Amino acid sequence: MNTFVNLLAVAFLFALLALPSLIGHARDLRIDRQIRRAQEARAAEATLASAQNVFGRAA
């Protein structure tokens, strides 16, 4: 029983120490996703504007 409690204590401490890192990683992934979407939207907008210029319609 004492070994099991020790195992739980070590697992809890590991989770406690790893949690800030995991939260930061998830936040970085979310920010990267937002940046990627913004870049794709900007590229699509530029493509649309250049296509409109080619066909004689001003953007």
How do the pLDDT tens digits run along the chain, 59 residues long?
999 999 999 999 999 999 999 999 999 999 999 999 999 999 988 888 777 777 766 54
The model's pTM is 0.64
Q: Which alpha helices (DSSP H) does the chain contain, by range?
A: 2-54
Secondary structure letter of residue 1 according to DSSP: -
Beta carbons within 8 Å of 53's beta carbon, 6+ residues apart: 59
Chain mean position to CA 28 = 5
Scored b (16 or more CB within 10 A) or e, 5-22 reads: eeeeeeeeeeeeeeeeee
